[in-house]
Amino acid sequence: MTRPLQVVQAFDRAVITEIAVDDAAALEARLATASRTLLNRDAWLKPHQRSAVLLRTAELLQARQGHFARLIAQEGGKPLVDATVEVIRAVDGLRNAAEAIRTFAGREIPMGLTPASEGRWAFTTKEPIGVVAAISAFNHPLNLIVHQVAPAIAVGCPVIVKPAAVTPLSCLGLVELLHEAGLDEAWCQTFITDDNALAERLATDPRVAFLSFIGSAKVGWYLRSKLPPGTRCALEHGGAAPVIVDRSAPLDTIIEPIVKGGYYHAGQVCVSTQRIFVHADIADGFIERLAARVQALRVGDPLLERTEMGPLIAPREADRVLSWTEEAVAAGAKIVGGGRLSETTLAPAVLLDPPTEAKVSQLEIFGPVTCVYRYRDLDQAIDAANALPFAFQASVFSADIAPAMRAARRLDASAVLINDHTAFRTDWMPFAGRRQSGYGVGGIPYSMEDMSQDKMVVLRYEG
């Protein structure tokens, strides 16, 4: 008999519950069900049915906002205030998907442009790409699931979703709401496992037409290399998001968004602010203000409403972040703050001028640490920001339009935020990692395009 999966609170490791895990037989059953559902074209859900399910699910989720926020805080460690925002975003995401169905359509293809194309009328329609396998991450255990599942439902794809093994409860709760809202189980199934081999079998099964993967670059790119011919995918990884602070930037107003960008969810965000390049003329004042605000962050139990920063997801992650900061300090960086508060909770830290070759300057920290570097020349700062093999979102803070726009044009990023932090996102905007940071474009309407395919119909007529 397969052992149950123990789900614990990220903050104190207390057991929340134990849930049954799925085995190879369960995986085969889910794949067979999804494939059979797709092949029965006469039973495909109509647009109005898909829209109704998504809107009803949004209503149910909104009514249980407090329950889901607490669940996110418990299993994922996100502070309750931010967990509540995640639920609100998830509700909006479901509505976004339903609304997008209204304009999700093909187009007319011009005919009659040559004598050979006369007497024909051509247009495209949208069809589901096929079975979707959605493998998700722990850091937004509800909203990431919405971003993967809602587009699939909106376009009519059967979807099998595997949440992170450490945060499965939010996913299970959302799928239950979808079924309560009237969606037949065959259209959205969960697959619960902590077995990487089984997860790989899900992702690479030839019956899967599209893989949606959110997680580590190492795993994502490996899975992509194993996909059978014809299977498409979207990968969302992370980076070491850069911020450039121009000397014209008003220090009194920029600290708060930068701290939010760097320490939101203890830095466990794929576009978390990590590398901050500050003009030397204002560096001392910037560091003083940044250090004071970071050290004033209220760190602790995410279930307390006053908490601004909670734990890391697991003790091994706290160990890793500490080792990276210690390496940087040993190599000459100065540190403000830092240290361990519990098995999974770290005090937030600021590293000043860590060496370029240090891990904190080269790799995604995914923890409550930001790095500050001084610069004199804007283009040198931009070059340093662009120097890593991954790129996602970037920011520039400036009161002057010229340096802001120069940075916006030259930064290698899929999005450049001007006078805002790197972790800003709305759920309808395109969201994509460049180079090693990802593949494809996220965001609910963009995922709907990925999970669909065009079919052209050409009608020949006389007269």
Q: Please state, in angstroms and rounded to a whole number, the distance separating the CA atoms of residues 166 and 110.
A: 52
| 111 and 54, same domain (yes or no) | yes
Give the mean pLDDT of 55-78.
98
Q: Is the pLDDT of residue 1 over 70?
A: no
Task: For residue 96, name the pLDDT band (cuts at 50, 70, 90).
Answer: very high
Give me the pLDDT at residue 147, please.
Answer: 96
| 292 and 189, same domain (yes or no) | no
Q: Is the pLDDT of residue 349 over 90?
A: yes
Is 236 marked active-site?
A: yes
Domain-located, residue 308: yes
> What residue type is 118 in one-letter code?
E
Q: Indicate which residue of 171, 188, 270, 371 is catalytic.
A: 270
Q: Supply the DSSP symbol for 266.
A: G
Domain-located, residue 394: yes
pLDDT digits (tens, 9 = 90+) for 182-239: 999 999 999 999 999 999 999 999 999 999 999 988 999 999 999 999 999 999 888 9
| CATH classification of the domain holding 185 | 3.40.605.10
How far is residue 17 from each of residues 7, 14, 346, measured CA to CA in Å? 6, 9, 25
Q: State both tokens at 216.
A: 């580590």
| 160 and 79, same domain (yes or no) | yes
Q: Please state, in angstroms and rounded to a whole number, the distance separating the CA atoms of residues 160 and 178.
A: 13
User: String of b and e for 343-378 (b: at least 16 CB within 10 Å)?
Assistant: ebbbebbbbbbbeeebbbbbebbbbbbbbbbbbeeb
Domain extent, residue 43, equals 5-237+437-460
Domain-located, residue 432: no
| CATH classification of the domain holding 338 | 3.40.309.10
Q: Is the pLDDT of residue 440 over 90?
A: no
Give me the pLDDT at residue 198, please.
Answer: 96
| 268 and 331, same domain (yes or no) | yes
| 101 and 116, same domain (yes or no) | yes
End-to-end CA distance of the chain: 70
Give the mean pLDDT of 353-358.
95
Q: Please state, in angstroms and rounded to a whole number, the distance separating the CA atoms of residues 89 and 60.
A: 14
Q: Is the pLDDT of residue 22 over 90?
A: yes
Domain-located, residue 449: yes
Domain-located, residue 431: no
How far is residue 15 from each of residues 24, 170, 411, 423, 456, measured CA to CA in Å? 26, 16, 44, 31, 53
| 202 and 274, same domain (yes or no) | no
| 129 and 10, same domain (yes or no) | yes
Q: Indicate which residue of 157, 171, 188, 236 is catalytic.
A: 236
CB pairs under 8 A, 24+ apart, for 197-200? Answer: 198/22, 198/23, 198/24, 198/27, 199/135, 199/162, 200/226
Strands (E), 238-272: 241-245
pLDDT digits (tens, 9 = 90+) for 98-142: 999 999 999 999 999 999 999 999 999 999 999 999 999 999 999
Report how far Cα 331 is from the mean position of its chain's Cα atoms.
33
| 97 and 207, same domain (yes or no) | yes
What predicted TM-score, i.e. pTM, was given to this entire model? 0.93
| 362 and 315, same domain (yes or no) | yes
pLDDT above 70: percentage of residues in the chain: 99
Domain-located, residue 319: yes
Please count the structural domains in the chain: 2
Q: Is the pLDDT of residue 463 over 70?
A: no
Domain-located, residue 356: yes
pLDDT digits (tens, 9 = 90+) for 138-186: 999 999 999 999 999 999 999 999 999 999 999 999 999 999 999 999 9
Domain-located, residue 140: yes
| 232 and 251, same domain (yes or no) | no
| 230 and 246, same domain (yes or no) | no
Give the mean pLDDT of 414-441.
89
| 225 and 364, same domain (yes or no) | no
